[in-house]
Homo-oligomer: A and B are copies of this chain.
Amino acid sequence: MNPIEPIELADFKVGVDNVIFSVDTQQNRLLVLLIKRLNYPFSSYWSLPGTLVRQGETLEKAAYRTLSELIRVNNLYLEQLYTFGGPNRDPRELPESFGVRYLSVSYFALVRYEEAELIQKQSNFPSWYMIEKIPQLAFDHNQILDYGYQRLKSKLKYSPIVFDVLPELFTLNDLYQFYTTILGENFSDYSNFRNKLLKLGFLFDTGVKVTKGAGRPASLYRFDAPSFAPLKDQPLLFI
């Protein structure tokens, strides 16, 4: 950045918009959290939850703040997505507003539906929408959401982000259901999925058994970060 520039620089308000995914393994649904806009512009449209960044606040903190006002959750994964910053994204950018631009830094979050408790005190009707039934959203939020969905799917395949979202202890079936819900039934069969993951050597059987209705009890496993570390930079594929 060169400090001496002509005077036609743009002034920005920076917002953070969040694509908050939740995985409902019970009903095999992938959900996105939307809120209803109450004000101009795009009043009464659904939109991604977001906020404008405050003084002294990092972008990530702003993303967390938005999230924590809507849901209460213990385990989550959060990652910056992309920055959408073209002019005319926002109708509030009037010519008479001295070139104020609205720039959106988008984040995507991943939580478990079972664990994510919606804080319903909000006046803007926060609601989970199935990914297949997203309505037309305010601003360029459909584009942001699509981008986030792509990123989620690819990231799941080569990064251990699941283990930030699942509880400490989980069964291999929990893990499999998680993947299935996001990637679809056909990504791998259970037996091969099991073998591949166990062979990688960062999942440890705690020996503790847990039973889920009828059927043989399942072992609870734990993700061991140190064992995963050496695989970090390799183009390892989980699927």
Seen from chain A, the residues whose Cβ lies within 8 Å of a Cβ on chain B are 1-6, 8-15, 17, 39-41, 50-59, 80, 82-83, 85-87, 90, 92, 99, 101-105, 154, 157-158, 235, 237, 239
Most buried by B among A17, A54, A154, A158: A54
CA distance A202 to B157 in the complex (A): 25
Partner of A5, one of B11, B41, B52: B52
Copies, count: 2
Specify which chain B residues have a CB less than 8 angstroms from the CB of A102 in the assembled complex: 1
Partner of A103, one of B12, B40, B54, B154: B12
B10 touches A14 (CB 8 A): yes
Specify which chain B residues have a CB less than 8 angstroms from the CB of A8 in the assembled complex: 54-55
Specify which chain B residues have a CB less than 8 angstroms from the CB of A104 in the assembled complex: 1
A10-B54, A58-B85, A59-B83 in contact; A15/B1 too (CB < 8 A)? yes
Specify which chain B residues have a CB less than 8 angstroms from the CB of A86 in the assembled complex: 58-59
Known contacts A1-B51, A3-B92, A10-B53; 12 further A-B pairs (Cβ under 8 A): A1-B17, A3-B41, A5-B52, A10-B14, A10-B57, A11-B11, A12-B53, A12-B103, A14-B14, A55-B87, A58-B87, A103-B103
